[in-house]
A and B are shown apart, each in its own frame.
Chain A
Amino acid sequence: MNPFEYQRPLDISTTLQAFSSGARFLAGGTNLIDLMKNGVEKPPKLIDINRVALAEIQPLPGGGVRLGALARNADTANHPLVREHYPLLSRAILAGASPQIRNMATNGGNLLQRTRCPYFMYTEFPACNKRVPGSGCAAIGGSNRMHAILGASEACVAVHPSDMCVALAALDATVLVRGVNGERSIPFADFHRLPGETPQVDTNLKEGELIVAIDLPPSPYSAHSHYLKIRDRASYDFALVSVAAALEIEGGRIRGARIALGGVAHKPWRAESAERALAGKQASRPVVEAAAAEAVHGAKPLSQNAFKIPLARRAIVRALNIAGGIA
């Protein structure tokens, strides 16, 4: 770990002013500190924001809920408002990491998790465009069983590791960010990026901007949702494939559907074409299967992860069936 400057401001404006180029905000530290130990992150300055008052979870006028950026993942998953109105989010958070990590990790930090691609995490590997732009992608010809099947580029095939974000993508959340020039909100779908030519940039957050909250709109899906995570062991493991499925059903007819996938792309992957394939249809197994096939349409496997395509399709079917109570 490199020597660094450390500051612990007490409010947002001091926090924003403390920022200088290359600095990192420190919240739960469950990912950043590991990356610093590995020498992937070498920030000259850490700005510890744990004393800034951003941990509240509160109802929004009009029926939504605001999740403070510094609310811990565990507290968020177990909050009555979240459990009642967004069981999908609660389940997704609890499917991630371990209890110890969820007790430390924050909502803002969860969005900013970096990929678990080994070529990114371990500097001894010679090539990673995300870690050293222009150095190449070692995963394409190497260990890529855990990597992307959708939305990848020649420059990067890494996946986003979060479970929480998959649910947030399905729930049409909005990310509230604050910079020295004021506050703005970013629709969740626009928050994370696909790798393209610049995989070193994970999100559309500008340098020095701080996530202050995540807003959830009122959800018509609380009665019919399911988060399904498929992994190599039963707990404390990243997804091979995960599915956040949410249905609004009226008299057996699907009014609206939300499907997002984890473990398949550089960002939480909204399967909008599959959602369209469901909208207005009578809920049935063939309809669900057709939607699932639509979701993985155009998926491109790497040398070791072709299994993810049928796995994702089957996981979508299962998740939708459970969410919709379809036999």
Chain B
Amino acid sequence: MSTSRTISIGDPLARVDGVAKVTGSAQYAAEFRIAGVTHASLVLSTVPSGRIASIDRNGADHLPGVIAVITPENAIRLAGPERRLTILQDDQVFYQNQPVAVVVAETLEQAQFAASCVTVRYESAPAKLDFKAGFASAHPSKHNDEPGDQSWGDVEAGLARASAKVDQIYTTPIQHHNPMEPHATIARWDGEKLTLHDATQHISGVKEKLAGIFGISKEDVSVDCPFTGGAFGCKGQVWSHVVIAALAAKQVGRPVKLVMERPQMFGPIGARPRTHQRVTLGVDSEGKLTAIRHEVHTNTSLIEDYLESAAFPTRVMYACPNISTTSRVVNLNLGTPTYMRAPGIATGTYAIEVAMDEMACALNMDPLQFRLLNYAEFDPHSGKPFTEKNLRECYKQGAERFGWSRRNPKPGSMREGRQLIGLGMATETYPGKNLPASALVSVQPNGRVLVASGTQEIGTGSYTIMTEIAASVLGIAPSLVDARLGDTSLPEAPISAGSMSTASVGPAVQAAAEQVRGKLRELAGINMTPGGDSFSELVRKNGGRPIEATAKTEPQIKSIDVPCHSFGAIFAEVAVDEDFGTTRVRRIVAVYDVGRIVNRRTANSQFIGGIVWGISLALHEVTDIDWRYGRITNPDLASYLVPVNADIPSIDAAALDIPDYKLDSVGARGIGEIGITGTGAAVANAIFHATGKRVRDLPITPDKLVSV
């Protein structure tokens, strides 16, 4: 749609930064040209556990172009190091691919070659790498501030009176985010002032963290990140390389650029941990759930607890009086895991939604009917109503669009030649949340409108959404709006994560724009005509000063008190080759209840992107680890498989577009992550329907179907 006409919330405005991105003029962290910049190359550990015994520099210091070889022996000491970071402050090794040294040189090639010359000798210690053996000593943990364990009712009693039970173990592997843009940092010191160009989901988080580690004032750190080339969770935290870039820059007294190489993206910057999920369901003779138990074991590192919250979705999905969800983490000598698109929920919905399918099969009941029978009208834990919930409508519309009624319920009953056809479905869910955020809206002397917030554009469309909201409030064409973000000098905004950005920054932009609209009306009297000349006229009336307002908005509800969740229904059709076990997804239909849609085009991209990743979770993606060494065997995009275009079918994603004004004034609940939830289960359930084989270990690769 044209950007020169006025716009309403929901209109499919094309990305305002689209041309800049596809023509290469959008600048990503590593692309900033900094005078006198030097290049850093990391040396990473090759053992999973132990300490550095010695480092032989092999003359690396004296190679052409080399400025410094920085190791734990000579690295400057930091004021506030953190245990979770491995930043050259000691000789301990906790995981493979841990940074153990960094070389700084005039060119990247010189730095890389010198880094390859450095030989590190280790005193190895026994590594904890046996996940299952670690169950005995696993411990409870929290995800953000939510407890890993939450139970109510009497699960044992519920199971005891159940007339049918499902009790199965589902497992999912470690995965790595692999955004197109690798992690990258350029660090520059001017005296005690630190400037970072960093690929991040959270500029203000980087600012605060680096200030603490270097013992300087927050005001002395500025972070710039106008574009992040994909993140999916791995750029939410500050990882070691960011600190090492700043440390190296301080040590050599020049700006340092550090870009992770693709194989280095496997280890030191987070991962989705593996999960081992035991799900037990009980139903009464009518098929109503009497008990759900969801026990999760997942791994973390030795230096930080991260809990994959896979048990959490089970707390909200179905009406059941007796539910027990528990989470235990196992410390392993691996890099710390972290949030990865729909953290916990992607893996957790896989397990609970396959278990629900297994129960429907056991009851000889249609899987959709079984879910409707156990529909949660209210939050199962608190009994309180959800802020909004229209999942029933998602089921209905999804089933119609997909043609669910044409499904022959008998597994293995539908075939085309050697292809076994299967139809599966699952429920999707993701929490609705937001955080405090602030934004500036400012009418400039030239009549253009600046909308600015210290949020991030991680590929989801932040520039576009900010433009769309400001333009719609002011009644002007989006072409008159300039959006700015990714700069810590702008009004502070939260991390771009947890599907929270639109519900956090959106209200702040809306509030600031409404205040500016009020000021404009005051200046104009009742005859305000929107945009362009009239705006510059009003600025002149304002004494040439921009007409502006900064708004800070707070969450309207506390998620602990008010149940707020998005839901959706996803349907998948697969074809499985009966001889080879190769699965092709042929069709996906998904319908979402995610609150108000702010931009139908970018929203659809979010749904589709999530679904594609869900297909990847089901069929392709696995970080393969040689557990003898704790080392990843497929740290490249030729062997770490994600779907290619040929793997992805027609995807029909739709949203109900029912606003949720209880969460925020925009009415949006966030859409970034729900697409991946449920998808793994829908595909897995379709494979079972096609083949009659139930593979409970993701991904479902041909070998598992051939050998079952």
Interface residues of A (CB under 8 A from B): 1-3, 38-39, 116, 118-119, 121-122, 124-126, 138, 141-143, 145, 230-238, 240, 305-307, 310-311, 314-315, 317-318
1/0 per residue B89-106: CB within 8 Å of A?
000000010000000000
Known: A118-B634, A122-B635, A143-B633. A233 touches B46 (CB 8 A): no
The stretch of B66-74, B287-295, B355-363, B621-629 in contact with A is: B621-629
Q: B580 near A314 (CB under 8 angstroms)?
A: yes
Partner of B633, one of A142, A240, A311: A142
Chain B residues near A233: list those with CB within 8 A.
619-620, 641, 643-644, 646-647
1/0 per residue B334-368: CB within 8 Å of A?
00000000000000000000000000000000000
A240 CA to B707 CA, complexed, in Å? 14
A318 CA to B619 CA, complexed, in Å? 23
Q: B579 near A314 (CB under 8 angstroms)?
A: yes
1/0 per residue B692-708: CB within 8 Å of A?
00000000011100110
Chain A residues near B438: list those with CB within 8 A.
none
Q: B629 near A125 (CB under 8 angstroms)?
A: yes
B192 within 8 A of A: no
Q: B701 near A116 (CB under 8 angstroms)?
A: no
Q: B702 near A143 (CB under 8 angstroms)?
A: no
Q: B707 near A306 (CB under 8 angstroms)?
A: yes
Q: A230 near B644 (CB under 8 angstroms)?
A: no
Q: B112 near A1 (CB under 8 angstroms)?
A: yes
**CB-nearest residue of chain B to A235:** B646
Q: A234 near B647 (CB under 8 angstroms)?
A: yes
Q: B580 near A232 (CB under 8 angstroms)?
A: no
B304 within 8 A of A: no
Chain A residues near B634: list those with CB within 8 A.
118
Known: A230-B582, A318-B579. A2 touches B633 (CB 8 A): no
- Give chain A nearest CB distance to B672 CB in angstroms: 25
Q: B626 near A142 (CB under 8 angstroms)?
A: yes
Closest 7 A-B residue pairs measured CB to CB? Answer: A234-B646, A118-B633, A307-B703, A314-B579, A235-B646, A143-B633, A124-B46
Chain A residues near B1: list those with CB within 8 A.
none
19 further interface pairs, Cβ-Cβ under 8 Å (given A125-B629, A234-B584, A311-B581) = A1-B109, A1-B112, A116-B638, A118-B639, A119-B633, A122-B635, A143-B633, A232-B641, A233-B643, A234-B646, A235-B646, A238-B638, A305-B703, A306-B707, A307-B707, A311-B703, A311-B706, A315-B580, A318-B579
Contact-residue bracket for chain B: 35 or more
Chain B residues near A39: list those with CB within 8 A.
116
A142 CA to B629 CA, complexed, in Å? 10
A317 CA to B584 CA, complexed, in Å? 21
Q: A143 near B629 (CB under 8 angstroms)?
A: no
Q: A2 near B113 (CB under 8 angstroms)?
A: yes
Chain A residues near B215: list those with CB within 8 A.
none
15 examples of A-B residue contacts, CB within 8 angstroms: A118-B624, A118-B633, A118-B634, A122-B263, A122-B633, A124-B96, A142-B626, A142-B628, A143-B626, A230-B702, A231-B582, A233-B619, A233-B647, A236-B644, A311-B703
- Give chain B nearest CB distance to A115 CB in angstroms: 12
B631 within 8 A of A: yes
- Give chain A nearest CB distance to B212 CB in angstroms: 33
Partner of A235, one of B582, B628, B629, B644: B644
Q: B263 near A311 (CB under 8 angstroms)?
A: no
Pair count A-B, CB < 8 A:
89
Q: A3 near B113 (CB under 8 angstroms)?
A: yes
- Give chain A nearest CB distance to B109 CB in angstroms: 7
| Prevailing SS type, chain A contact patch | loop
Partner of B702, one of A38, A138, A306, A307: A307
- Give chain B nearest CB distance to A53 CB in angstroms: 31
Chain B residues near A125: list those with CB within 8 A.
626, 629, 631
Chain A residues near B638: list those with CB within 8 A.
116, 236, 238
Partner of B620, one of A2, A232, A310: A232
Chain B residues near A38: list those with CB within 8 A.
263
For window 635-678 of B, CB contacts with A under 8 Å fall at 635-636, 638-639, 641, 643-647
Chain B residues near A124: list those with CB within 8 A.
46, 96, 631
Q: B701 near A232 (CB under 8 angstroms)?
A: yes
A124 CA to B120 CA, complexed, in Å? 12
A138 CA to B633 CA, complexed, in Å? 11
- Give chain B nearest CB distance to A42 CB in angstroms: 9
Chain B residues near A230: list those with CB within 8 A.
580, 582, 702
Scoring B113, B628, B636, B638 by chain A CB atoms within 10 A of each residue's CB, the highest score goes to: B638
**CB-nearest residue of chain A to B579:** A314
A132 CA to B638 CA, complexed, in Å? 23
**CB-nearest residue of chain B to A318:** B579
A125 CA to B626 CA, complexed, in Å? 10
- Give chain B nearest CB distance to A215 CB in angstroms: 31
- Give chain B nearest CB distance to A127 CB in angstroms: 10
For window 416-437 of B, CB contacts with A under 8 Å fall at 418
A202 CA to B522 CA, complexed, in Å? 82
- Give chain B nearest CB distance to A284 CB in angstroms: 18
Known: A3-B113, A230-B580, A235-B646. A143 touches B706 (CB 8 A): no
- Give chain A nearest CB distance to B232 CB in angstroms: 19
- Give chain B nearest CB distance to A220 CB in angstroms: 28
**CB-nearest residue of chain B to A119:** B633
Q: A240 near B703 (CB under 8 angstroms)?
A: yes
**CB-nearest residue of chain B to A145:** B703
Chain A residues near B631: list those with CB within 8 A.
124-125
- Give chain A nearest CB distance to B637 CB in angstroms: 9
A3 CA to B117 CA, complexed, in Å? 12
Chain B residues near A119: list those with CB within 8 A.
633
**CB-nearest residue of chain A to B624:** A143
A311 CA to B705 CA, complexed, in Å? 11
A240 CA to B638 CA, complexed, in Å? 14
Chain B residues near A3: list those with CB within 8 A.
113
Chain A residues near B584: list those with CB within 8 A.
234
Chain B residues near A314: list those with CB within 8 A.
579-580
- Give chain B nearest CB distance to A125 CB in angstroms: 7
A222 CA to B628 CA, complexed, in Å? 48
A323 CA to B418 CA, complexed, in Å? 16
Q: B112 near A138 (CB under 8 angstroms)?
A: no
- Give chain B nearest CB distance to A320 CB in angstroms: 13
- Give chain B nearest CB distance to A202 CB in angstroms: 19
- Give chain A nearest CB distance to B95 CB in angstroms: 13
A69 CA to B641 CA, complexed, in Å? 31
**CB-nearest residue of chain B to A306:** B707
**CB-nearest residue of chain A to B110:** A3
A157 CA to B542 CA, complexed, in Å? 79
Chain B residues near A307: list those with CB within 8 A.
702-703, 706-707
A231 CA to B643 CA, complexed, in Å? 12
1/0 per residue B544-583: CB within 8 Å of A?
0000000000000000000000000000000000011110
Chain B residues near A305: list those with CB within 8 A.
703
- Give chain A nearest CB distance to B420 CB in angstroms: 14
**CB-nearest residue of chain A to B45:** A124
A317 CA to B578 CA, complexed, in Å? 13
A240 CA to B703 CA, complexed, in Å? 9
- Give chain A nearest CB distance to B599 CB in angstroms: 31
- Give chain B nearest CB distance to A170 CB in angstroms: 20
**CB-nearest residue of chain A to B704:** A307
Chain A residues near B701: list those with CB within 8 A.
232
Q: A234 near B644 (CB under 8 angstroms)?
A: yes
For window 390-433 of B, CB contacts with A under 8 Å fall at 418
Chain B residues near A118: list those with CB within 8 A.
624, 626, 633-634, 639
